[in-house]
Chain A
Amino acid sequence: MLERLPGWLGWARDTEHARRVGILARTPVFAGLPHRLLARLAVQLFEKAYAPGEAVFSEGDPGKGLFVVLDGEIEVVRDMGQGPQRIVTFGPGTAFGELALIDDLPRSASAVATTPTRLLILYRSHFEDLVAGDRVIALVVAKNLLRLLAGYVRAANVTRAKAETAVAPAPTGDASVPPAVR
C-alpha cells in the first residue's frame, strides 16, 4: 500500500481515506479483512451529517445499510409498550445496523443523533459486491456477523433470565447458574 511508498509520494496520499480505513478496521463486522478490501470499501462509503435530534432511521423502516459513527453520538430507542426507551448508545468508531446487510426485515428500533454527528453509510449492494466471488472474504464477514448475532442472543438470554428471576419464585437448584444456560 501507499504507506510503504517513499516519502516524496506523500502529496498523493488521501488522508481522509486512510482515516476511514482505520475506522473500518476497528469495526467488528469487518474485523480480520485484508487492508486492500477495507480500502476498497472506504471508497464506496457515503458520509452524512446529522443535527442533534435527527433520526437516522425509524422503527419499521426497511433496513438498507450499515452505519459507522465517525463523530458524535447515536442513541437507539425502541417503543417497548410504555413509550420509547433507550436501548444502546453508539460513539465514534462503532457500527450499527449490520443485520440490514443480510436480511430484508424492517428496522427493529429507531436511531437518533443526540449530538452533531457524522456517519459513514455502507449500502448492501456495495457490501454484496465486496463479498461476491471471494469465498474467504465471505467467510470472514459471515463469521463476524455470526459472532455479533451470538453476542446478541447471549445478552438477550441473560436479560430474560434476569427478568424471569425477578418475577418468578426463587429456583430450588444452583442459584449461581443463570436459567438461560442451565
Chain B
Amino acid sequence: MSDGSVVPEPAPAPAPPPLSPPARGASPLAWLAVAAAVVGLGFLLRGLVIPIALAALLAYFLNPLAARIQDFGIRRTVSVTTVFAGVGLLVVLLATVVAPRFRAEGTALISNLPSLARTLEIGIDGLQAELVRTYPQTQRFVPKEPRHEGWLFELIEERMGNASELLAHFGLIAFIVALTPIFAFFFLRDGGAIVAYLIDRLRPVHIETTVAVWCEIDRIIGRYLRGLALDALVIGALATVGLWLVGAPYPLLLGAFTTLVNPLPYLGTVLSVGVAAIVSIANGQPIGRVGWIVVVYVIIRILDDLVVAAITIGGSVHMHPMLVMVSILVGEQTLGLLGMVAAVPLVTVVKECARLLLEHRRNLARPHVPTAGRARRIPQYVC
C-alpha cells in the first residue's frame, strides 16, 4: 500500500469491518500484578542482581554474533551454543597465553608494593617539605606531626581491605564468574522469544509505533554500548603494546587499567597516563621514560579520536561536556571508580532513550495532510 497512490476499485465494498480493534491482552491490573511480582522476585533474589545484570549485558553484546549465525538458517539454540563455544575457546586461549604473564605482573606488583610505596612516600614527603620551604603559607595544609615510615603502604592496605576481606571478595567474584555465563546463555537463547511473546501481547493499535521506537532505541544504544566495549578493548591492547615497546613496567596491568577507564571521556587518558607515570617513577625509571609513556598515550588518543572510535562508536551519540563531568562526579560519589566508568554510558543510554521517545511524540503530534487531499495532488499525466 502506498501513501496517496493506492488505487480505489470503482465498486465500493458492502460493509467494511470495524476499524477499532476489540480489546485484547492483559488488563492494566494484571500488568500491575506482574510488575509487583517482578519487584518482589527482584527483592528476594537481590543477591543475584550483579550476575543477572552482567549476564544480560553479555547476552546483549553477543546477540549480533548469534543472529549472524542464525542468518545461515541455523536454529537459535545451535547458534547460541556455537557463540558460547567460540567465546569459551577464546577465553581458554587468552588464559593460556596471557594469564601467566598477567599473573606474573600482578605477583610482582604485589610483592614490590611496599618498596614502591616507600619510593613514592619519600618522593611525596620530599615534595611536601620543598613546598613548605618555598611557600610557608602552605604549612597549614600539611600535618603538624611528621608521618611515620610506611604510611603510604598502610593507606593502600586500608583502602584495599585486609586478607580476609579479599578472600570474601574472591568468593563473591567466583560466584559471579560461575553464574554469569549460565544466565547469559539462557538470556541469549530465549531473549528473542521473550521479546516476540511480549510483542504479540501488545495491543495491535500500539504495536507498530511501540516496536518501531524500540527498534530505533535498540539500534542506537546497541551500537553505542558495543562500540564502547570494542573501543576500550582496542585501546587497552594498543596501550599494552605501546608501553611494552617503550619499556614501561607492568604493561599488561597498565593496559588492563587503560581498558577499564577508557570509557571515561577526558579523564580516561589522564588517569591512564598518571598511573603509568607514577608506576614508572616508583620503579626508579628515568624521567625520560615517563616522557615516552606520555608520547604513547598521546598517539593512542589521536588514533582513538580519528580512527578507532569513529569506526566502533561512530558519531551518532553526543553528550554535552558539562553533562559528562556531572555524570562522572555523581558516579564517583555513588560507586567509586566503577561508578565513574559506568556513569557516562548509563546517562547516555537514558538520554538517548528520552530523545527518541520525545522525537516520536513530536512526530505523532505533527499535523498531516488529509488523505483525500494528498490523493488529489497526484499529477494525472505522470507517465
Contacts and interface: CB of A to CB of B under 8 A. Distances in A.
Given A53-B21, A112-B17, A13 B2 contact: no
Contact of A13 (B75, B207, B212): B75
A64 B372 CA distance: 21
Interface string B59-74: 0000000011011111
Contact size range, B: 35 or more
Interface string B185-217: 000000000001001100011011101100110
Contact of A125 (B6, B13, B219, B371): B219
A14 interface: yes
B371 A78 contact: yes
Contacts, number: 202
Contact of B212 (A1, A52, A123, A160): A123
B205 A99 contact: no
B31 to A, nearest CB: 19
A2 B75 CA distance: 11
A23 interface: no
Interface in A19-46: 21, 36, 39-40, 43-44, 46
Interface string B1-45: 111111111101100111111101000000000000000000000
B19 A110 contact: yes
Interface residues of A, number: 84
Given A62-B364, A129-B219, A180-B381, A108 B374 contact: yes
B16 A75 contact: yes
A88 B7 CA distance: 8
Nearest to A128: B219
Interface of A: 1-3, 12-14, 17-18, 21, 36, 39-40, 43-44, 46-65, 75-88, 96-99, 103-112, 114, 121, 123-126, 129, 148-149, 152-160, 162-163, 180-181
Interface of B: 1-10, 12-13, 16-22, 24, 67-68, 70-76, 78, 196, 199-200, 204-205, 207-209, 211-212, 215-216, 219, 363-364, 368, 371-372, 374-375, 378, 380-383
14 contacts: A14-B75, A21-B73, A46-B196, A46-B211, A61-B209, A80-B12, A85-B8, A105-B4, A108-B5, A108-B375, A121-B211, A152-B7, A153-B5, A162-B10
Given A43-B67, A125-B212, 9 more contacts: A51-B22, A56-B204, A59-B371, A63-B208, A86-B9, A103-B3, A152-B6, A153-B383, A181-B383
